[in-house]
Homo-oligomer: A and B are copies of this chain.
Amino acid sequence: MRSSDLPEVRDLQLFRSMSEERFAELMQAAYLQTFPAQLDLITEGDSADFLYVVVEGCVELYACWNERQATMGMVHPIGTFILAAVIKDAPFLMSARTLDKSKILLIPAEDVRHVFEADSDFARAIISELADCYRGMVKEHKDLKLRSAVERLANRLLGFEKEQGGTGELVLPYDKRKLASMLGMTPENLSRALNTLRPYGVDVDNNVVRLNDMAAVKTLAKPTALIDDKDT
């Protein structure tokens, strides 16, 4: 791998402030690989051999316990996952699988740890990334702990609508089945929750949702920056 192959990766917040040499050192041992959809990349409990960077496609993070399974998050280009496990050299707490055919960069964990010991700019970038991950997880936790299923759904719809341009219309970015798991409910329940929202001007046509009465949805959803904003 040469660094020139991946300007988008070089441009990641995480790598932007590194020196060219360090970046080259990291990339030298890295693999860029294309995986088919629905392929298991890592399994929780395994040890962290690589840092993963999603370059194309989409990766689902999920967790299992006692035959149950829950989606913990989605990773889109350009994003990394399992940074914390790599840093701590600790077992993964989550599993990951491709959702679509995906191009993924694998950076040996050893090298990441080595470079972060040597390059304090990289160390600072990691801090920023980890702090973001932490705050994201806190928000997810608040969402689940403080809201009902319908409230979570309404807020998520508002979020999708905003990030898709604020046209009052949105496309569900995943299967309803996946979406349900993300929201911490069953597919049947998601179906009913969408019906519950119809009186609030929410019209569903397959994976297209129209929000005809944003005010009503917001009154129900009560979105707040401290849970629903990606940044802040």
Instruction: Point out residues on A near B: beta carbons under 8 Å.
Output: 44-45, 63-66, 68-70, 72, 83-85, 87-88, 90-91, 93-94, 116-117, 120, 123-124, 126-128, 130-135, 137-142, 144-147, 151, 184, 222, 224-227, 232
Contact = CB atoms under 8 A, between A and B. Distances in A.
A72 B137 contact: no
Contacts of A222: 65-66
Contacts of A134: 84, 130, 133-134, 137
Given A84-B134, A91-B232, 9 more contacts: A63-B142, A70-B145, A87-B128, A88-B135, A91-B226, A120-B123, A130-B130, A130-B131, A137-B138
14 contacts: A44-B226, A45-B226, A63-B142, A63-B226, A65-B147, A70-B146, A83-B131, A84-B131, A88-B131, A116-B124, A123-B124, A130-B134, A137-B141, A141-B144
A61 to B, nearest CB: 9
Q: Is the interface of A mostly helix, strand, loop or mixed?
A: helix
B65 A138 contact: no
A94 B138 contact: yes
A8 B109 CA distance: 33
A93 B132 CA distance: 12
A90 to B, nearest CB: 6
B226 A93 contact: yes
Contacts of A128: 87-88
Contacts of A124: 116-117, 123
